Amino acid sequence: MPAMLEDPSSHNPPPQAHVQAAGSLTARHTTLPKASGAGMTLYPITGGPSSVPKDLIKFLHAEFSAEIERGSTYPMEQPMELEQFAQYWFGTFCVLAVLDEEGRCSHICNAGFITTTASRGKGVGQAMGEAYLEFAPKLGYKYSVFNLVFANNPASIRIWEKLGFNVIGRVPKAARLANSEELVDALIIGRELGN
């Protein structure tokens, strides 16, 4: 839900209270009474469209455009262009509701990281890892596991060890990599998340 629901062509400036409140807003989890106790997490978005994944904006734009075309809930006559929608929906303040898709292992997460060639050796990997450890528990994850940390990548291994990960397994000769004539072992590393 965006902060304002009027026609975006009206150019009415929204209140600026969100700027002061942004730092104090956190995700909120709730249980849906009509969905057999299923959960939902509501994420406040105060950083504008640039803080939202582009694929998510495209998906929501398509959903919103279909709603406009149905013509029963919003004042717009025609769907907006993608960029106009992104600014309209996320420009001031938005709360994004995500249904919890609980599975037996849905409390476990992982991620993929890449540091550009020009950024290597500057602590970028460490900073990304720290951000991951901050965000993952806020999204409800309890444990993190990476199953393909190649044994011939000491920089990556050092970062994860500094961040509290431990080797919990090893897959011998798991990968044929360009930087090795021999097959390379993959380390499986993991750690609990949160406090």
Q: 75-92, pLDDT tens digit by residue?
A: 788 999 999 999 998 888
Are the C-beta atoms of residues 89 and 81 closer than 8 Å to each other?
no
| Per-residue pLDDT band at 18 (split at 50, 70, 90) | low
Task: Give the CATH number of the domain where residue 113 resides.
Answer: 3.40.630.30
Q: Give the model confidence (pLDDT) of 94-131 as tens digits.
A: 888 887 766 777 788 888 888 888 888 889 899 999 98
| Per-residue pLDDT band at 160 (split at 50, 70, 90) | very high
The residues with which 97 forms a beta bridge, in sequence order, are 42
One DSSP character per residue, 109-127 reads: E-------GGGTTTTHHHH
Other beta carbons less than 10 A from residue 6's beta carbon: 14
Residue 2, in any domain of the structure: no
pTM (predicted TM-score):
0.52
Judge if 82 and 150 occupy the same domain: no
Judge if 21 and 88 occupy the same domain: yes
Q: Which amino acid is at 172?
A: P
Helix H or strand E encompassing 132: helix 124-138
| Domain finish residue from 99, 128, 155 | 99
How much is the pLDDT for 70?
86
| Domain finish residue from 50, 70, 99 | 99
Residue carrying structure tokens 């919103």: 64
- Distance from CA of residue 149 to its chain's centroid? 22
- Range(s) of the domain holding residue 129: 108-192
| Domain finish residue from 99, 117, 139 | 99
What is the layout of strands, in order, in the sheet containing 39-45?
Answer: 28-31, 39-45, 94-99
Domain count for the chain: 2
- Distance from CA of residue 55 to its chain's centroid? 11
Residue 3, in any domain of the structure: no
